[in-house]
Amino acid sequence: MSPAEARLKEVPSHMSEGEWAQRVNLAAAYRLVALYGWDDLIDTHISARVPGPDHHFLINPYGLIFEEITASSLVKVDLDGNQLSESEYSINPAGFTIHSAIHEVREDAGCVMHLHTPDGTAVASCMEGLQPLNQTAQLVIPELAYHDYEGVALDHDERPRLQKDLGTKNAMLLRNHGTLTVGRSVASAFERMYYLERACTMQVRTRMLGPTAYPVDQIVIDKNAELVSNPERSELRSTKLVWPPMLRKLDRRDPSYKT
């Protein structure tokens, strides 16, 4: 290992190894969102729970684009919105409303990801929502919830309704707004978002070809739904199979997210 590589693995003296590892993974998710073209200038947000008994979570500094995010630049906050780490930036107030709502009631919410992509927002803005038109959508829909739009999420009174609408689901279409996923880990939230976004893009393209999609038997849809009914298996796939090559992809391009 070179000296430069060794420095990338150093844990700051004032931080636990668990928090630093979470920071590195979250910074990686921001870089991947930028890489896939899912970002929206300085808007949208991804949060990750800091390991430990406190309901503290990490979120992006409001004023950096996603390809600039590093592990050390992430801001730590509590459920009241108090910043617990030093930063020259504040946090996105709408981001705090959405993410604090979910972290408050979901102990399994290790990571929450929210985007405003064109295709995700297009499907979220359609009356029909996401339809089981293809294999990808059929694997997403069993975990999918919906939440009606209430304006830019600055009103904390919206949080109970968002919590109720999400329930125990791990993906959501925010009507007229965008997409959201929840994962026990950054890895699983990212993988869920990848397939939610992909399903939305597939639906947009299918609808562009005409009004009639080739039908799928309900028995097949139910069979595919059964494949995503085991959360342990899904988490293992995300963390062991999907996430390591995603990190290697980033490392080949720019490993500075680890700093």
Q: Mind listing the pLDDT tens digit for each residue in 46-60?
A: 999 999 888 899 999
What's the CA dihedral at 182, 179, 240, 102 to 10 degrees? -10
Rounded CA separation 20/25 (Å): 9
Q: What is the DSSP letter of 45?
A: E
Per-domain residue ranges of the chain: 3-258
Find where tokens 């979910």 sit. 102
- CB 92, CB 62: distance < 8 Å: yes
| 3-258: CATH topology | L-fuculose-1-phosphate Aldolase (3.40.225)
With 0-12 / 13-18 / 19 or more C-beta atoms within 10 angstroms meaning exposed / middle / buried, residue 64 is middle
Rounded CA separation 49/23 (Å): 10
Q: Region 156-179: what's the mean pLDDT?
A: 96
**Max intra-chain CA distance, the chain:** 60
- CB 197, CB 117: distance < 8 Å: yes
10 pLDDT band, cuts 50/70/90, is: low
Closest CA to 18 of 63, 69, 54: 54
Rounded CA separation 173/165 (Å): 10
- CB 191, CB 184: distance < 8 Å: no
The total number of residues shown for the chain amounts to 259
Q: Which residue has the higher pLDDT, 95 or 242?
A: 242
Q: What share of the chain is helix, strand, coil (3-state, %, to 5)?
A: 50, 15, 35
3 pLDDT band, cuts 50/70/90, is: very low
Helix (H, G, I), strand (E, B) or coil at 173: strand
State residue 105's pLDDT score.
94
In the predicted model, what is the mean pLDDT of the chain? 93
Q: Region 194-209: what's the mean pLDDT?
A: 97
Whether the per-residue pLDDT at 8 is higher than 60: the answer is: no
5 pLDDT band, cuts 50/70/90, is: low
Q: Region 34-41: what's the mean pLDDT?
A: 97
Helix (H, G, I), strand (E, B) or coil at 107: coil
